[in-house]
Amino acid sequence: MLGVLTLGDALNMARAQGVDLVEIAPNATPPVCRLVDFGKFRYEQAKKEKESRKHQHANKVKEIQLSPKIDPHDLGVKLSHAIDFLCEDMKVKLVLKFRGREMAHTEFGFQLIERFLKETAPFGHPDLTPKLVGRAITVMLSPLPRAKRAKNPHEGASKNAPAYEETDDSNDEAPPVRHPPAPPSGDSAAAAA
């Protein structure tokens, strides 16, 4: 803290110490400056920004594509992926694409989207109502706050499940060996012919 100095005095002081004069707060009256090595100052600033970015979660968007004729098992897989993304604080863009004559019955697509939104309601909420844009219905899902969100049902199951199932084969008996019937002897073979 050297107090208020003129620009010339501050520059002379910086040159005398072999450092740079760096303006820290330009909008303050008078502007606040520091006498530091500029390279070291930039390095420290970059380090602080990187550290703050690490704690701040980037707003990632994952897209899930559906079709009106999706198989129930495939829908379940996509639903579990959406739940996982929402539990990791990612937004989910849900897109249901119509092909060919499927456009004649968009109500089936809207029913499927509503079912999907109902299943993901404990984990996230739609930003807007689903809209038909061109040949696709789109809706963006945002995750609920951690305190209001349900626990991820897939998190504990995958970690605790064994990689393979061990079986105890010590008590199992081997199946009996079956031999093919013996070929007929010479006398019966001639009688059969």
Expressed as residue numbers, the domain containing 12 is 7-55
Domain shared by 50 and 67, yes or no: no
Stretch 89-110: mean pLDDT, rounded?
91
In a domain, 186, yes or no: no
Look at residue 165 in the predicted model and tell me its pLDDT. 46
* Chain segment 19-64, per-residue pLDDT in tens: 888 888 888 888 888 888 888 888 998 998 888 877 666 578 899 9
Last residue of a domain, one of 38, 55, 72: 55
**What CATH number did the domain enclosing 12 receive?**
3.10.20.80
Signed CA dihedral, 67, 123, 76, 119: sign only: negative
Same domain, 51 and 98: no
| Whole-number Å distance between alpha carbons of 115 and 178 | 55
* Residue 55 dihedral angles phi and psi, to the nearest 5°: -80, -20
* pLDDT tens per residue across span 108-134: 999 999 999 999 999 999 999 999 999
Going 154 to 157 to 162 to 168, the CA torsion angle's sign is negative
Please state the pTM of the whole predicted model: 0.52
Whether 61 contacts 91, CB under 8 Å: yes
Q: Confirm whether 183 is domain-assigned.
A: no
Give pLDDT, residue 90: 87
Of the candidates 112, 8, 124, the residue with the CA atom closest to the CA atom of residue 65: 112
Tokens 């390279």: give the residue.
39
Asked if 95 and 36 sit in the same domain, the reply is no
Which amino acid is present at 152? N
Domain count, the chain: 2
**Contacts of range 86-90, beta carbons closer than 8 Å, 24 or more positions apart:** 86/120, 86/123, 86/124, 86/141, 86/143, 86/144, 86/149, 87/123, 87/143, 87/149, 87/152, 87/155, 89/57, 89/143, 89/146, 90/60, 90/61, 90/62, 90/143
180 assigned to some structural domain: no
Tokens of 9: 């005095």
Same domain, 140 and 125: yes
Find the CATH number of the domain harbouring 136: 3.30.110.10
Pairwise CA distance, residues 26 & 109, whole Å = 56
Same domain, 44 and 84: no
Of the two residues 141 and 181, the one the predictor is more confident about is 141
Number of other CB atoms surrounding residue 126 within 10 Å: 17
Q: Give the confidence band of 137 by pLDDT, cuts at 50, 70, 90.
A: very high
